[in-house]
């Protein structure tokens, strides 16, 4: 769609992204990706942060979300309850269970719902018997 009456001539107008798949629409996905990078930036090297900011600019949001989840798992940290919930809602927005298994597995590994009493992870609790 162009604007023929613009003083600098015809130009493209942006088209809003439809909310087809619940939390997986463009705005929610973008906000989640940006928020995760900001919240867990201490887990990322400078090079990883630079790469993620470039990917954010390219609207590669699912790749950014996956890489941040990798960094959280690698650090042994857990997502906050809010971030875990938002990521789960976003992941459930993929149509017909088409959610990438690797992202689902990462989310499970760093989800606060897996935290045991006193902050122990299930693996730690199993080892301590």
Name residue, tokens 């301590």.
128
Average pLDDT over residues 10-23: 40
pTM: 0.67
State the pLDDT at residue 67: 95
Q: Residue 68: which pLDDT band, with cuts at 50, 70 and 90?
A: very high
Name residue, tokens 């769609």.
1
With a cut of 50, say whether residue 112 has pLDDT above it.
Answer: yes
d(CA 42, CA 45): 8
Q: pLDDT tens digits for 72-111? A: 999 999 999 999 999 999 988 877 666 678 899 999 999 8
State the pLDDT at residue 13: 41
Say whether 67 sits in a helix, a strand or coil. Answer: helix
CB 33 within 8 A of CB 27: no
Could you tell me how far CA 31 lies from the centroid of its own chain? Answer: 8
d(CA 82, CA 59): 23
Q: Considering Cα of 86, then 88, then 89, then 94, what sign does the dihedral take?
A: positive
């Amino acid at each position: 769609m162009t604007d023929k009456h613009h003083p600098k001539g015809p130009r493209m107008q942006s088209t809003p992204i439809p909310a087809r798949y619940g939390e997986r629409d463009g705005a929610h996905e973008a906000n989640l990706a940006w928020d995760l990078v900001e919240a867990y930036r201490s887990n990322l090297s400078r090079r990883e942060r630079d790469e993620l900011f470039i990917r954010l600019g390219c609207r590669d949001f699912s790749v950014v979300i996956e890489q941040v989840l990798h960094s959280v798992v690698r650090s042994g940290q857990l997502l906050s309850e809010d971030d875990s919930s938002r990521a789960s809602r976003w992941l459930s927005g993929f149509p017909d269970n088409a959610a990438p298994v690797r992202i689902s597995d990462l989310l499970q590994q760093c989800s606060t719902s897996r935290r045991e009493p006193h902050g122990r992870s299930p693996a730690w609790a199993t080892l301590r018997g």
